[in-house]
Amino acid sequence: MHGRGGQGAVTASRIIATAAYEEGKYSQAIPMYGTERRGAPLTAYVRIDDRRVRERELVHNPDISLCFDPLISLQQAVANDLKPHGQVLLNVPFSPEKSELAGNINIATVDATSIALETLGRPITNTALLGAFSKATGVVKIESVEKAIKKYFPGRLGDMNIAAVRKSYEKVSPWVPAKNKVAPKMQVDLNVGGYGTLKDVSSWRVFYPVVDEEKCIGCKTCWIFCPEAALEWKENNKPAMIDRACKGCGVCANECPVKAIEMKRVEGA
Amino acid sequence: MSYEVMVGNKATAVGCKLARVRVAAVFPITPQTTITEYLSEIHASGELPGFEFVNAEGELSSQVIVQAATAVGARSFTCTSGPGLLYMHHPMQETASKRLPLVMAVVHRGVKSMQPDHSDLMSQQWQGWLHIYVENAQEILDTTVMAYKIAEDKRIRLPVAIGYDGYVLSYTAEPVEIPAQEEVDKFLPPYKPMPSILPDQVDPKTFGAGWGEGDPMKPWQMHHEAALNGETVIKEVFAEWGEKFGRTYGNGMIEPYRVEGADCVITAMGTIAGTATAAIDKLWADGKKIGLVKIRSFLPFPRKDFQEIAKSVGAIGVFDRSCQPGMWGPVYHQMRSTLYDEDKKVPIIGFIGGLSGKEVRVGDMYKIGEKTLKVAKGGKPEAPIQWV
Amino acid sequence: MSTQRMTRAQVPMEEMILAPGSTCQGCGAAMAARLTFKVLGPNLIRHGIPCCPDQVSKHPRAGAVFEGGGASLTGTARGLKALGRTDVKAVGFFGDGGTYDIGFQGLSAAAERNENILVITKDNEAYMNTGGQRSGGTPKYAETTTNPVGPNSRGKSEPKKNIPMIFAAHYVPYIATASVAFPEDLMQKVKYAKDIEGFRMILIQSPCPVGWRFDPAKTVELARAGVQAGVWPLYEIEHGTTFKLNYKPKELKPVSEYLKPQSRFRHMTEVEVNEIQASVTANWQRLLKADEMKTVVL
């Protein structure tokens, strides 16, 4: 299960594990150990079996891969190492035929971000993907998912999440074999967690700053407040985003005294 | 060379001065306290130029202070006893994991009493330090200087703890020969940290390295191998000391006493090994051929030496001055593990004594010798492990 | 006291951090690290203890156990002195847990010994690296993962420890508070503290979008609101007595403007907000008096 900190992938893994137990199966939900940061890609794993799961190594060759994030859904890494004919369920606003993911895999898609925004008002996509998961894979029934959700989100919040589940159950696409069989050589490594300096955090962004050089007065306010030194100060006395360093927090746009920075949504996000 | 009648704790302080320790951070605890006072006097008198003396607010901080000082390249020293050592437990693992070659005196104090036993230092076996146990004030002074040479050796780069018994040694006065400073300087060169963390000497490529990259087990393997190298390095350093200063302590790892021609041996560590020599003399006088092996280095354990000794003796009686409740004595276990694969099976019997400062007398060691000899002659021990 | 004020044009362009770091989006502590190390330059050994990752800087690093910040800085400073390398500074960059709580004993002792060290605390008011548990730096009524709100709990029930005043009471050369929303003031203080001999401490309030629960774009806005409301006043204290308030608006903004955008305070009733307002106002009056008298008033 691939997502990013704040999207609820870990909670989703526990909801699936709970739903499986509701159906008389044993289950196990493992979060990727290490440091979880809001916005940073992360992985969680679920095992379901008829008896108590004792194996505790991470899942290296999954049957199913779930992607909670639209940008991560574009990365080949989420389809690698699947078992032959493995299933990849993506959160993207397009049909599975359009996915470039490669391999001996089947792909289904659902626009979980839009569903989450409609039902929850926030792009927390975990439950908005679980209905699609239930319908497409048949691993757990939608009733069990709903029961499990009530355990995690009581009251009104639970009802909103159940609405998201039902909507995604209806909207998920059928399975389609991947059109590409061979994976590209150049791939983005999703594993950018941990401590220290990171090579590239461009995958963290949902929004990115765009500077209107006409409006910009060159005051350096954006530059001084950037937590990542991700704004380069150019010779013309204007800022520019450093692609690999910007996490898309939006502090620069918020602080700009003349509103010369706009946070634009990354295409497909 | 000069001499002075001094207590064990003063021998430690003089050893530090001879080793030209640059930073000492200490916190007082009985029976270590007077080391801190002697060191403060050395600082106040100005006799050791450039010496920084820190009155820490507790043992945990004293350990961390000498860690950081060693990391920047200052030869450093700290000392403690019993509960103070337990309080240091957390940073001690870091001292060793960061491969910082400092020296610490552990003046034994038990964990159930203020009186000495080895339960304090024995409880720190997993920290990755080298542990050397010494018997008298002269050995304290000599070993303190040698410990820096061992710790700083590039094959080791690990901290060394020198353990000695509280009161009967820490506060007991005896004549101690003091080697000349110039001679010690020739023996122990100034300390150079590896790698340096000074901003103008450090490799800038190390900045920003991610956390947990590479095989996480590799540092453990390297640490383990460095500790095992102690067996070689300790012997080398002690041999050099013997050559230069004319005083030897066996081969550094062990110090045998009347082992040649003995039917069996007993082992002991620290002051009790000294008391045991008197018992050994009596046993030989009574026609009972029993040797003594004083174990100086417990970590690393003198495996090769005991595998050799086991070939010529009929039994080994192991004396432990600590007990891990439910698991008996740590020296006993090491000995049995060391000799398990030997073709010739030598009976090993354990004796636990001297806990919480209970006095161990010549007569006690005499009886241990007799009991071991009985087993060497084919008799059955009363019990595999006995309380003395 | 630092008499000069830094201007935007004087802020060094060179970055001393190796970004991007592994912090969350909009991390206040990352800002604090970036600004601090800009002025400190290269000739220092940076000390770390377990805390949120903030930013990696181009400095050699000495790490210590969580409780060992003060002792580790002491050892470095003394070792450098023994080696005659006092040109190299010993600088700590710690969190509030390592300053207010588990690291307090060692730092207090280092302050009492007036060790030649610079301690910078990025105060994000809880144990954020482990997911946001209460610390001695957590303010009253804040909800944390170990102060959940429920029938028996209104969030944290005690006020934030007054750590700058506690350290000032060690009579050390320099104590200052700073905020990421006032970068020139922050950097001027770091620059001034850098070359003072003895124990120096700067506490930087560093909002945490995840732990305080607000939109990451609002980190600076919120830090500014905290200063403007008098919740996090900016001041300097020298030798435990001389006092100077660095930011004095004619009128404080209401604390509700600071509390409201943060979900950690969303359960607060009007009565509770008024209680905080009263204590902030009283404290502000004391600080104004202290500023006027140029001496600490407790």
Q: Residues of B at the A interface (Cβ-Cβ below 8 Å)? A: 207-212
Binned at pLDDT 50, 70 and 90, residue A265 comes out as confident
Q: What residue of C is the nearest CA neighbor of A263?
A: C217
Whether A9 is covered by a domain: the verdict is yes
Could you report the per-residue pLDDT of C197-238, keeping only the tens digit for each?
999 999 999 999 999 999 999 999 999 999 999 999 999 999
The pLDDT value recorded for residue A192 is 55
Binned at pLDDT 50, 70 and 90, residue C285 comes out as very high
CB-based contact, C277 to chain B, within 8 Å: no
Q: Contacts of residue B209 in chain A, CB cutoff 8 Å? A: 196-197
Could you report the per-residue pLDDT of C184-197, keeping only the tens digit for each?
999 999 999 999 99
The pLDDT value recorded for residue C290 is 97
Binned at pLDDT 50, 70 and 90, residue B213 comes out as low
Structural domain that includes position A57: 2-177
The pLDDT value recorded for residue A48 is 96
Q: Please indicate, yes or no, whether residues A163 and A215 belong to a single structural domain of this protein.
A: no
Q: Are A40 and C22 in contact (CB under 8 A)?
A: yes
Could you report the per-residue pLDDT of A236-259, keeping only the tens digit for each?
999 999 999 999 999 999 999 999
Under an 8 A CB cutoff, do B91 and C65 touch? yes
The whole-model pTM stands at 0.94
Could you report the per-residue pLDDT of B312-358, keeping only the tens digit for each?
999 999 999 999 999 999 999 999 999 999 999 999 999 999 999 99
Q: Please indicate, yes or no, whether residues B280 and B378 belong to a single structural domain of this protein.
A: yes
Structural domain that includes position B18: 2-245
Chosen domain end from B245, B270, B287: B245
Whether A160 is covered by a domain: the verdict is yes
The pLDDT value recorded for residue A205 is 85
CA separation for the pair B37, A153 (Å, rounded): 63
Whether A189 is covered by a domain: the verdict is no
CATH classification at residue A236 = 3.30.70.20
Q: Please indicate, yes or no, whether residues B216 and B300 belong to a single structural domain of this protein.
A: no
Contacts A–B by Cβ distance under 8 A: 16
Q: Please indicate, yes or no, whether residues B281 and B352 belong to a single structural domain of this protein.
A: yes
**Residue A241, strand partner residues:** A231
Q: Residues of A at the B interface (Cβ-Cβ below 8 Å)? A: 34, 194-198
How many residues would you count in chain C?
298
Chosen domain end from B245, B278, B301: B245
Under an 8 A CB cutoff, do C75 and B94 touch? no
CA separation for the pair A80, A59 (Å, rounded): 12
Whether A182 is covered by a domain: the verdict is no
CB-based contact, C84 to chain B, within 8 Å: yes
Could you report the per-residue pLDDT of A65-113, keeping only the tens digit for each?
999 999 899 999 999 999 999 999 999 999 999 999 999 999 999 999 9
Could you report the per-residue pLDDT of B234-258, keeping only the tens digit for each?
999 999 999 999 999 999 999 999 9
Q: What is the mean pLDDT of residues C48-62?
A: 91
Chosen domain end from B194, B227, B245: B245
Q: Please indicate, yes or no, whether residues A173 and A248 belong to a single structural domain of this protein.
A: no
The pLDDT value recorded for residue C14 is 94
Binned at pLDDT 50, 70 and 90, residue C5 comes out as confident
**Residue B350, strand partner residues:** B318, B385
Q: Please indicate, yes or no, whether residues B11 and B145 belong to a single structural domain of this protein.
A: yes
Could you report the per-residue pLDDT of C95-106, keeping only the tens digit for each?
999 999 999 999
Q: Contacts of residue A198 in chain B, CB cutoff 8 Å? A: 210
Q: Please indicate, yes or no, whether residues A164 and A211 belong to a single structural domain of this protein.
A: no
The pLDDT value recorded for residue C295 is 96
The pLDDT value recorded for residue A269 is 65
φ/ψ region of C260 (left if φ > 0, alpha if ψ in -120 to 50, else beta) reads alpha
For A138-162, give one letter per residue: b (16+ CB within 10 A) or e: ebbebebbbbbbbebbeeeebebbb
Q: Which residues, including other chains, have CB under 8 Å from residue A19's CB and lie 6 or more apart?
A: A134, A140, A141, A144, A145, A147, A148
Binned at pLDDT 50, 70 and 90, residue B211 comes out as low
Under an 8 A CB cutoff, do B211 and A197 touch? no
Could you report the per-residue pLDDT of A105-159, keeping only the tens digit for each?
999 999 999 999 999 988 899 999 999 999 999 999 999 999 999 999 989 999 9
The minimal CB distance from C217 to the residues A195, A246, A250 is found for A250
Under an 8 A CB cutoff, do C20 and A253 touch? no
CATH architecture of C14-293: 3-Layer(aba) Sandwich (3.40)
Under an 8 A CB cutoff, do A194 and C56 touch? no
The pLDDT value recorded for residue B338 is 97
The pLDDT value recorded for residue B376 is 97
What residue type is A139 in one-letter code?
V
Q: Please indicate, yes or no, whether residues A251 and A135 belong to a single structural domain of this protein.
A: no
Under an 8 A CB cutoff, do C75 and B25 touch? yes
Q: Please indicate, yes or no, whether residues A38 and A167 belong to a single structural domain of this protein.
A: yes
State the nearest Cα–Cα gap between A3 and chain C, in angstroms: 15
Q: Please indicate, yes or no, whether residues A115 and A30 belong to a single structural domain of this protein.
A: yes
Whether A135 is covered by a domain: the verdict is yes
Whether A194 is covered by a domain: the verdict is no
Whether A16 is covered by a domain: the verdict is yes
Chains sharing 3 or more CB pairs under 8 A with chain C:
A, B
Q: Please indicate, yes or no, whether residues A46 and A168 belong to a single structural domain of this protein.
A: yes
Q: Contacts of residue B208 in chain A, CB cutoff 8 Å? A: 196-197
Write down the ipTM of this complex: 0.95
Q: Please indicate, yes or no, whether residues B103 and B26 belong to a single structural domain of this protein.
A: yes
CB-based contact, A194 to chain C, within 8 Å: yes
Q: Please indicate, yes or no, whether residues B63 and B152 belong to a single structural domain of this protein.
A: yes
The pLDDT value recorded for residue A34 is 59
CATH classification at residue A124 = 3.40.920.10
Is residue A5 over pLDDT 90? no
CATH classification at residue B325 = 3.40.50.920
CB-based contact, C215 to chain A, within 8 Å: yes
Q: Please indicate, yes or no, whether residues B298 and B211 belong to a single structural domain of this protein.
A: no
| Residue bearing the bigger pLDDT, C124 or A191 | C124
State how many domains chain B has.
2
φ/ψ region of B136 (left if φ > 0, alpha if ψ in -120 to 50, else beta) reads beta
The pLDDT value recorded for residue A193 is 57
Could you report the per-residue pLDDT of B293-302, keeping only the tens digit for each?
999 999 999 9
Chains sharing 3 or more CB pairs under 8 A with chain B:
A, C
Helix (H, G, I), strand (E, B) or coil at C281: helix
Binned at pLDDT 50, 70 and 90, residue B212 comes out as low
Q: Comparing C-alpha atoms, which of B318, B206, B324, B203 is closest to residue B267?
A: B318
User: What mean pLDDT value characterizes chain B?
Assistant: 96
Could you report the per-residue pLDDT of B136-173, keeping only the tens digit for each?
999 999 999 999 999 999 999 999 999 999 999 999 99
Q: Contacts of residue A220 in chain C, CB cutoff 8 Å? A: 8, 11
State the nearest Cα–Cα gap between A143 and chain C, in angstroms: 30
Is residue B209 over pLDDT 80? no
For B90-101, give one letter per residue: b (16+ CB within 10 A) or e: bbbbbbbebbbb
Could you report the per-residue pLDDT of B96-150, keeping only the tens digit for each?
999 999 999 999 999 999 999 999 999 999 999 999 999 999 999 999 999 999 9
Indicate the domain borders of chain C: 14-293
Q: Please indicate, yes or no, whether residues A89 and A14 belong to a single structural domain of this protein.
A: yes
The pLDDT value recorded for residue C4 is 80
The pLDDT value recorded for residue B264 is 98
CB atoms within 10 A of CB B2: 8
Residue B250 has φ and ψ, to the nearest 5°, of 55, -135
State the nearest Cα–Cα gap between B58 and chain C, in angstroms: 8
Is residue A26 over pLDDT 60? yes
Binned at pLDDT 50, 70 and 90, residue B194 comes out as confident
Q: Please indicate, yes or no, whether residues B148 and B230 belong to a single structural domain of this protein.
A: yes
Q: Please indicate, yes or no, whether residues A219 and A154 belong to a single structural domain of this protein.
A: no
Under an 8 A CB cutoff, do B209 and A196 touch? yes
Binned at pLDDT 50, 70 and 90, residue A194 comes out as low
Under an 8 A CB cutoff, do B208 and A195 touch? no
Q: Which residues, including other chains, have CB under 8 Å from residue B284's CB and lie 6 or more apart?
A: B258, B290
Whether A198 is covered by a domain: the verdict is no
Under an 8 A CB cutoff, do B61 and C83 touch? no
Task: Provide the Cα torsion A144, A149, A151, A154; round to 10°.
Answer: -140
CB-based contact, C293 to chain A, within 8 Å: no
Mutate one of A33, A195, A199 to test the B interface: name it (highest B CB count within 10 A). A195
Is residue B60 over pLDDT 80? yes
CA separation for the pair B331, B273 (Å, rounded): 14
Is residue C140 over pLDDT 60? yes
Could you report the per-residue pLDDT of B75-84, keeping only the tens digit for each?
999 999 999 9
Is residue C54 over pLDDT 60? yes
Q: What residue of A is the nearest CA neighbor of C22?
A: A195
Q: Please indicate, yes or no, whether residues A97 and A148 belong to a single structural domain of this protein.
A: yes
State how many domains chain A has.
2
